[in-house]
Amino acid sequence: MSEHLRRRSDGGRAAEYPPAPEPLPVPVYDNHTHLEIADGALPLSPAEHLERAAAVGIAGAVQVGTDVATSRWSAEIAAREPRLLAAVALHPNEAPELDAAGELDAAIAVIDELAAQPRVRAIGETGLDYFRTGEEGRDAQHRAFEAHLDIAKRHGIALQIHDRDAHDDVVATLRRVGAPERTVFHCFSGGEELARTAADAGWYCSFAGNVTFKNAENLREALRVLPRELLLVETDAPYLTPAPLRGRPNAPYLVPLTVRFMAELLEVPLDGLCAQLAENTERVYGSWQEGLA
């Protein structure tokens, strides 16, 4: 399998990667990234991504699968790369297509097998997406989401949730089926209400570069009310590049831009927030040094 499985397919620009930001005073982790997606005019290899990240104080990342192929790749690279852990799952937008082809159950079984590997520390990204999938695909999304919840709980690993325009149904499913002990709202997209619901349940909320966007006051309101011990940071690279670099490719080495923005918004010392984010991330996923091949 090649180092990069696929090109970015959402019309992303073939722009150059931005210059590196100032390093963070305390290392943190990128809680969610997609290094399998080649982006930019000169795509970076996973090794190049990780070298740039280490140079600015990013200790490691969670490499996230969205289908069978990328989940296998994520598990394989994490098994040999000490700076990566893996999350494996079927993205909710994949579920209806797999179901229509009669392949959903078999694909879920592959995710279950991958979840047993020691460097696979999360099931994700899974959840519900009502933005790209209409009513006809929701049943498959719900069945896949519940199956992923079961896998995470049986294997005792974290859950990374993709929640787009589906807050109420995601929360209702977590409450009805039972959330894993460590549940993360990846690329948190709600507002203060969802943040308070997550805080009451002890669910983690991970913020990406879009918290810096001018039109994202709902995210900033959520960030302000969340307990510090439930905060995580991510890139969702190559997407959601922080302001003022929108339109350029995103990558783990740009995490410091989001962390500095968060510290300024919360009016807390940067080094203290970095330490808290690192502690929270290790609490969710465990040690980056364990389980290497």
Separation of alpha carbons 84 and 120, rounded Å: 10
34: annotated binding-site residue?
yes
247 touches 13 (CB < 8 A): yes
Separation of alpha carbons 156 and 153, rounded Å: 5
Rounded to two decimals, the pTM is 0.95
pLDDT tens-place string over residues 184-210:
999 999 999 999 999 999 999 999 999
Q: What confidence score (pLDDT) does residue 133 get?
A: 81
148: annotated binding-site residue?
no
On the CB side of 129, CA atoms within 13 Å amount to 17
Secondary-structure class of domain 22-285 per CATH: alpha beta
Tokens of 216: 């994202």
Q: How do the domains of the chain map onto residue ranges?
A: 22-285
Average pLDDT, stretch 135-155?
Answer: 96
Separation of alpha carbons 116 and 152, rounded Å: 10
User: At 255, is the pLDDT very low, low, confident or very high (cuts 50, 70, 90)?
Assistant: very high
Q: How many residues does the chain have?
A: 293
- What number of H helices and E strands is found in the chain? 10, 10
Whether residue 2 is predicted with pLDDT greater than 70 in this model: the reply is no
Mean pLDDT for the chain?
95
125: annotated binding-site residue?
yes
49: annotated binding-site residue?
no
Q: Measured at the alpha carbon of residue 179, what is the angle toward residues 64 and 107, in degrees to the nearest 5? A: 45
Q: Which residues pair with 122 in a beta bridge?
A: 87, 158
pLDDT tens-place string over residues 9-47:
555 556 899 999 999 999 999 999 999 998 878 889 999
Whether residue 134 is predicted with pLDDT greater than 90 in this model: the reply is no
Q: What confidence score (pLDDT) does residue 1 get?
A: 37
Q: Picking from 67-81, 121-135, 146-160, 217-231, which range would have the lowest pLDDT averaged per residue?
A: 121-135
